[in-house]
A and B are shown apart, each in its own frame.
Chain A
């Protein structure tokens, strides 16, 4: 194979492997925008991967697998919402315990299907578009869920920033009392968005077990930890779909780079290249968010006026702060 083809196939793979992370992180962003923090991501992801795989094996239907995954994610989110909103318990504590419990539950319940042969999503090239140079092989020779992840990025952005319900959603996590006086049913909407966000996280599981990392291999499925990555992407991505997606693609790209560069760097232990994306990722994201730091503004003050204003504007664009009422319960009286 020639170099361009290898590169394009590689990048297409990057887009596909990042797909589940994009979906899970955007799902989490939606529920956090509503003010509910669902920390169960890591457990939900693994359990829904297992459940989706098992359902697909049992029924022979991929659709059933994804539906099952989404249902698992929605159920876990419902639990967090009930404990956090209705029982007014700490969302962090409940989510964290779920993250551990659901993971081990997946390993336990998944034993019967471990190593089973199961169905896998096929590549579904888009006619005509796939022939486009460069873009074609990258974007339009993917499976249906990867296309869905592209669409989700756009749809989530439009929903949050361009629609009336999206405006309410942004207010919900910011100042629920203000959303309340503006006519929102805070409790119901929070339930709704948490469950919807959880369902997206639940879709990400089968995206691994039925496509990206097809199959269920118990503890060596290689899924443990990805939920935490998705959670970090939500935060570093500033709860913004486009930035979350950029972060997910960067992460997948760095992992791929590690694999590709391995043969050329025999002096470096393979573990280093495998782990390198994690710290590198953190570093990049910290740099992106540097505009919030106090010392940045002090450094900026030393620059000449024109350049300073331009740089400050750029940093403000990159800046993100969490929804102000994240994790807090809303009480009318």
Chain B
């Protein structure tokens, strides 16, 4: 189905989310939609799928103008969308999720729906148990189910909004395979992402949005530098790794072991020196997260010692670790790191409470303004944290880390961030390193680990490898270790 978006405009209050965007997508293609966070990609796609109504502009399908009052209208016409946060019912079963929204009879036939689901899942090689409860599925499986549900409704246009966040590499490969196949069948796929390499490997053509307007388009062969320039309006400078001058040890772990309900960390000896960055790699739940949280004093170790700058902090809780210059930056920014309904100046007051009863509001605002300038946060001292984009939340979180810092423990420093924000985050972290802090971070992004670590430690089932030199360890070898291969040799060495 050919899609034409003509002069689509959408505003939220004073913010222009889409500014007269015109885009034509021929049927049977995979169209990529690139743009940094907040460029208007999601808004545009929500308009195409009937979730939002445009202020002005026209949508034409195969040349016929259509008006969607409701997402169900769009699905009936053949346009379906996978939202960035899955819109499904976690407490219901897979089958119930599949049946919901389908034109079933008043008393739906479970057996017929089960057959249909099995048949469709079989076609694409998805293994989904219809009787399972949805909250036992991974994000990737929930996504597969949603694709099947939309296909069973016979959509001919499939929109995917950042579908690769939170799914495994294998699921990503399977997803791309599925999308290619759908395109071959003549369906149109719109793939929204801020990750260049994904778009380059999958899409037949790419359009780039910047600040709500169409910045440009490309067809293969893609030139990464040009796409980056289109996305950000200028080239991005990536922080380079600087060889660490080995300083004095900041963090010393001796036979440290910890445990949660799933995992036990094998005794670990490790030294981290001032100015050094060490990346922890491994599949989710292999022990790297447990180690970070143990060092932060959020998990009590079962054995061993943690020393920071020579001081024994074993079993100390996070507030006392903080007093000794240890900070922890969690993945779940809005759940653990920030308070969604408070603004930046209030956060600053919480972190550096004045020694008085009453708050000096003008000064707090001034301090917040200063952070906003220094960290290039898009927002005002009064914007609530939950209203900021992911990249700006992460910058705000980093702006709260007050020097002098001894040790920064950070989970997934750039998850969900666009290139510019990611570069900004690492520039900041580097600056802390130069000032003498050491960084221990975990990431599921191997490229990030390789690009920023002075040494890499791989985790597998609670065991940890000896520190590896990134310049002498290639991607494949890291991948093997993460997957659990070659551990006996490593342990011997």
Q: Which residues of A contact B (CB under 8 A)?
A: 162-165, 167-168, 170-171, 174-175, 177-183, 185, 321, 324, 332-333
> Is B100 in contact with A171, judged by CB distance below 8 angstroms?
yes
Assuming the contacts A171-B100, A332-B51, A332-B52, asked whether A181 and B87 have C-beta atoms less than 8 A apart, the reply is yes
A324–B89 CA distance with the chains assembled, in angstroms: 10
Contact indicator A164/B89 (Cβ below 8 Å): no
Decide: A170 and B89 in contact? CB cutoff 8 A: yes
Q: List residues of B whose CB falls within 8 A of some A CB.
A: 12, 49, 51-52, 70-72, 75, 81, 83, 87-92, 96, 99-101, 104-108
Residue pair A181, B108 in contact (C-beta under 8 Å)? no
B70 contacts A183, C-beta separation under 8 Å: yes
- 5 tightest A-B CB contacts, nearest first: A182-B101, A183-B72, A178-B87, A181-B71, A174-B89
A177 touches B87 (CB 8 A): yes
Query: What are 13 A-B interface contacts by the 8 Å CB criterion?
Result: A165-B106, A167-B92, A167-B96, A171-B89, A178-B100, A179-B100, A180-B71, A181-B49, A181-B71, A181-B87, A182-B71, A182-B100, A333-B12
Q: Is there an interface contact between B83 and A175, defined as CB atoms closer than 8 Å?
A: no
Are B108's CB and A164's CB within 8 A?
Answer: yes
Contacts A167-B100, A183-B75 hold; do A178 and B107 have CB atoms under 8 A apart?
no
**Most A CB atoms within 10 A — which of B81, B83, B89?**
B89
Asked whether B83 lies within 8 Å of A164 as measured between CB atoms, the reply is no
Which residue of chain A lies nearest to B85 when distances are taken between CB atoms in the complex? A177
Query: How far is B105's CA from A194's CA once the two chains are assembled, in angstroms?
Result: 24
Known: A181-B83, A182-B72. A324 touches B107 (CB 8 A): no
18 A-B pairs besides A178-B89, A181-B75 with CB distance below 8 A are A163-B106, A163-B108, A164-B104, A164-B105, A164-B107, A167-B108, A170-B96, A175-B89, A177-B83, A178-B88, A180-B51, A180-B71, A181-B71, A182-B100, A183-B70, A324-B90, A324-B91, A333-B12
Contacts of A177 on B, CB cut-off 8 Å? Answer: 83, 87
Expressed in whole angstroms, the minimum distance between the Cβ of A19 and any Cβ of chain B is: 27
Contact A175 B52 (CB under 8 A): no
Indicate if the CB atoms of B91 and A321 lie closer than 8 Å.
Answer: yes
> Chain A residue with minimal CB distance to B101?
A182
Contact present for B107 and A174 (CB under 8 Å): no
Contacts of A168 in B (CB 8 A): 100
Q: With A163-B106, A163-B107, A181-B83 known to touch, is A174 a contact of B90 (CB < 8 Å)?
A: yes
Question: What residue of chain A has the Cβ atom nearest to residue B149's Cβ?
Answer: A182
A175 touches B88 (CB 8 A): yes
Contact B71–A183 (Cβ < 8 Å): yes
Output the least CB separation between B145 and chain A (Å): 12
Alpha-carbon distance between A170 and B89 when the two chains are bound, in angstroms: 9
Q: Which residue of A lies closest to B105 (CB)?
A: A164
Cα of A181 to Cα of B80 in the assembled complex, Å:
9
CB distance from B406 to the nearest CB of A (A): 34
Distance (whole angstroms) from the CB of A171 to the closest CB of chain B: 5
- B81 to chain A: which residues have CB within 8 Å? 181
Could you say which residues of chain A place their CB within 8 Å of the CB of B12? 333
- Complex-state Cα separation, A179 to B70, whole angstroms: 11
Residues of B within 8 A of A180 (CB): 51, 70-71
CB-based nearest A residue for B12: A333
Interchain CB contact under 8 A, A162 and B107: yes
A162 to B113, CA, bound (A): 13
State A171–B91 Cα separation when bound (angstroms): 9
Q: How far is the CB of A161 from chain B (nearest CB, A)?
A: 9
- With beta carbons under 8 angstroms apart, the residue of B71, B90, B106 that contacts A164 is B106
